[in-house]
Amino acid sequence: MSEYIGVVACFVIAGMIAGGMVLLASVLGKKTPSLEKSEPFECGETPFSLPGGKLAIKFYLTAILFILFDVEVVFLYPWAVIYRKLGMVGLVEMGVFLGILLVGYVYAWSNKALDW
């Protein structure tokens, strides 16, 4: 079990940093409450509306693009860990992977998915 102490320490430190920032911001931060800011909000949507109403698709597009690229780039980490063992083949394979990702990026760009 001792090899997991590092993981636990990571959790604790990450929690302390995140919690500390929230705490500091709420203690030291300047507060100018307004009507819009006090609304419970989610993705910029109107908090209360009847189903079937129109909603801005822009947020979802951005979120989907973020998930796509973010999740796929996660594969770089395990690859980097065993990079030396994989050798040349690993490099080529990662090149192919990033190439495919780049095609997706160009596709998103050329179809104006990145325009706001």
Partner 1 sequence: MTPVPITDVALLVPELILVGMALALLLVASRIREAGVATAGTVLAAALAAVLTIWLMPQSSKSGFSEMITIDGYSQFFKVLIASALGLTALLSVKRVDVKFVRPAEYHALLLLAAAGMMFAVSSLDLMTLYLGLELTTLCSYVLVGITVDKPDSNEAAIKYFLLGSFASALFLYGMALIYGATGTTDFKAIALILSQSSLGSDPLFVAGAGLLAAGLAFKIAAVPFHAWAPDAYEGAQAPVAAFLATASKAAGLAAVGRVCWAIFKTPTNGLQFDKLPPEVSMLLVGLAALSIVVGSIVALAQTNMKRLLAYSSIAHAGYALLGFIAGTDAGAEATMTYAYFYVFMTLGTFGVIITLEDRGETLDGYQGLAVERPKTAALMLLFLLSLTGIPPTAGFVAKFVVILNVVREGYYVLATLAVACSVITAFVYLRVAVLMYMKEPVAASADPEDALSSRLPLAVSAALAMTALITVVGGIFPGILTSWAVAP
Where does this chain bind partner 1 (CB under 8 A)? 82, 85-90, 92, 100, 103-104, 106-107, 110-111
Maximum CA extent, the chain: 58
* Residue whose CB is less far from partner 1, 28 or 88: 88
* Residue whose CB is less far from partner 1, 28 or 82: 82
d(CA 76, CA 93): 11
- Encoding tokens for residue 97? 């992977």
d(CA 55, CA 115): 17
User: Which secondary-structure segment (H or E) carries 21?
Assistant: helix 5-28
Shortest distance, position 46 Cβ to partner 1, whole Å: 24
* Residue whose CB is less far from partner 1, 10 or 106: 106
CA Rg value for the chain: 21
Shortest distance, position 105 Cβ to partner 1, whole Å: 11
- Encoding tokens for residue 48? 């209360």
* Residue whose CB is less far from partner 1, 17 or 103: 103
- Encoding tokens for residue 80? 């980097």
Shortest distance, position 91 Cβ to partner 1, whole Å: 10
Shortest distance, position 44 Cβ to partner 1, whole Å: 23
